Amino acid sequence: MTNETLKNYLNYLIIKGYNEETSHNRTGQVKEFLDFIKLSFEQINEEHINQYYYYLKQRPNKKYKEKTISINTVIHHIRAIELYFEMLYDTGKLKEPLQINISYPRNYQSDFKREFLSQDEIEKLYKVANPLETIIIHLAYGCGLRVAELVAVTKQDIYTKENILIVPKGKFNKRRIIPLTEKITQDLQEYLQSIEGKQNTFILNSKGRKMQEWTYNKILKQLLKRIKIKQDRINKLSIHSLRHSIATHLLQNGMELEKVRDFLGHNQLETTETYTHISMNQMRSIREHF
């Protein structure tokens, strides 16, 4: 049965969109866990996974015998196990999902350290923004556009009747369709009406040219000052941080990983999954600034 579920798990990961190498690595990590616990999957509970977590924290590094494996490696192992039990539940092998709650060290630093804003801070940005600044937040946060996509957006990319924005050439020349909320559609419609007959470019800088990344960054930093964000954080934040923010918030609010991947236009599910690895230090740091 174990070999069968491991084969099913490997296929499950590949179908979900993980690359082949990651899928094989994670299957191997789950096999290590099952060999360690020596129980069938039906018998395993949260306590067994906590027990394995504490074992991993003390396990020697295969390359550097005098050291233990890194906390990031430990977390990758636990994530593989989480996905394994998710697969068992999704395929009806388990009647109830297995809840896994691991208390990671307070000083844990993730290898994924992108800066983002909290949902409360995004709301504050919208409250202090003028109409043009609101449009910029809508595109960078509400639509999750990359910087290059934000700079390249045109009037022709926005379809207010259909409530969509089309990115004709994203990263790797991928075309994607982004759904718009009613509020974003309404604001975009009003903005398009306000510039009708005045300019061909969608967003202009003060010199009448297409707005570039540095100007978007400048506008965001001015907004951040208005909502009293501390300067040390402002220095770390950029317009691209709004894309990181929407990715984080969608996952925090329960959107499926695959749907977030499609929304952001990622090629690999692993890229999207990094947003689930934001360190507790980063989360605490955000709260300290409220």
Q: What is the pLDDT of residues 28-76, one digit of tens each?
A: 999 999 999 999 999 999 899 999 999 998 887 776 666 788 888 888 8
* Confidence grade of residue 276 (pLDDT, cut at 50, 70, 90): low
The model's confidence at residue 283, banded by pLDDT at 50, 70 and 90, is very low
Question: What are the pLDDT digits (tens) for 94-126?
Answer: 888 888 877 766 555 554 456 889 999 999 999
- Which of 7, 169, 228, 259 is flagged as catalytic? 169
* Distance in angstroms (rounded) separating the CA atoms of residues 133 and 226: 13
CATH architecture of 119-288: Orthogonal Bundle (1.10)
* CB neighbourhood size of 168 (10 A): 14
Average pLDDT, the chain: 84
Indicate if 174 belongs to the active site.
no
Q: How far apart are CA 129 and CA 135, in angstroms?
A: 9
Length of the chain: 290
Structure tokens at 253: 């609010």
Q: CATH code for 2-90?
A: 1.10.150
From the list 20, 33, 19, 17, the residue with the least C-alpha distance to 5 is 33
Confidence of residue 1 (pLDDT cuts 50, 70, 90): low
Confidence band of 285 (pLDDT split at 50, 70, 90): very low
Domain positions in the chain:
2-90, 119-288
48 is catalytic: no
- Tell me the per-residue pLDDT of 173-225, one tens digit each, with 9 for 90 and over: 678 999 999 999 999 999 999 988 877 788 988 888 889 988 999 999 999 99
Could you tell me which residue, 44 or 19, shows the higher pLDDT? 44
Point out the catalytic residue in the list 26, 240, 244, 249: 240
